[in-house]
Structure 1
Amino acid sequence: MKQEVKPSGTLLQKFFVKGKGLLKTVYTPKPTLLVEPDAWQCTIEKWDIIGKDSAALMLHLAEQRLTETVTASDSMSKKAEIIISILIPFLTVLIGFILSRDATAFDKDALGLAALFCIIPVCASLYFIQRNFRPYRITVPGESPQNIATARNFDNDLTTDEKYYNLVLNQLGSYQDRILTNEEINSTRVENIRLALFCMMFIPIAPLLAFLLVFLSGLVNF
């Protein structure tokens, strides 16, 4: 559940303390933001020490990291497509081969029994890989105009530079949330691919098991 939080102050003005000539900083609250209770929040209070170049670099690096998570997601989609493009035709051939065999003689039909056993890891692999095709929402770099061209961001007492820093820091918070969301989704999809490949490793074992059972059955009936 989201809650309203008022982060630490925004630098609005500086003035000299009367009679002491000391530079004193006055902070007033930032605009209220809607964030998750455990969401990352920027702890920088003195925005004037950031500098525009540093702010631009931070934004660029955050966008680069977010783009990497999107690229990783695309890569996993391609891997899932390759795996499923192999499994479905293979499963079709297996089913057709099994239906062409004599169902009453599987105890003596090593090939038919091998095909039957192969269906189990193939179906298990398909189960895990199809989970990567379920709806998921990967967030991308950038921001909708409706979220940035707002009165809250510009109709305030901040200076031009501070408005720029405010936009950058708020965008960094948004990017951090998106990065964590993408990484969580990618982690789940990687696990699905790993489980699918693990199940596929049992496909070559299935024929060996089938031939072993037929061989043992022949010894028993001998």
Structure 2
Amino acid sequence: MHNLLSSLRVDINSSLYLKDPESSSLGINIVKSSIDLIDLHGIEEFNFKKLAKAIGSTESSIYRYFENKHRLLLYISSLYWGIMEFQTVVQTNNMPDGMERLMKAVETLFSTPQTKCTSFEVEGQKLRHILNSEFVKAYHHKLVDEENEAGYFSIYKRLALRLSEMIAGVNANYRYNNSLASLIIEGSLNQYFLSEHFHNLTDCHSKDNLYEFYKDLLTKTLTS
């Protein structure tokens, strides 16, 4: 797994940036430091002035890479989903049993992204924490339809489609495979958020709890 991921480069929509961050050490540092700051302070308190101070550069240098912090958040989100998609493909490859394959995909989605094997050698847990707290803010806004049309969420949607196809592979007669796939992906973030902030609204307080919950749900839904 590590060897396969060692040269991973996520193909992120080029409209999200003005200059490819992976093309220079400054660009890589911008993304890495952004992840650190957003994880620490949240997207509302984060701005390019604070980022410039953190990396010892200027705001204008950051604006050469990203138009605004919303685009940067979308870039970070795409990076996360791209890593998770790749891990899912690798972990489920050559698994003939449909249910085992689906559950392995679910287990993988609940794991920590292998970010250290990309250009952005940040803590995978920080990236996951950002997605848990901030991803909903990336698309709950007035311009979401335009951004969707522009392909800003293509990696996220592609991963959902992969799950949907796995669900259909388990039970071709199940009519709600797209909805169930979305529920799994959203749950991979939301249940962690609930556990951290609204403890009594979920029974899933660990990766194992979460996996067992979805195993129970999917088994009863698709095989009963």
TM more than 0.5: no
In terms of fraction of residues, the more strand-rich structure is 1
Ranked by relative contact order (alpha carbons within 8 Å, sequence separation 6 or more), the top structure is 1
Q: Whose helix fraction is larger, Structure 1's or Structure 2's?
A: 2
TM-score (norm 2): 0.21
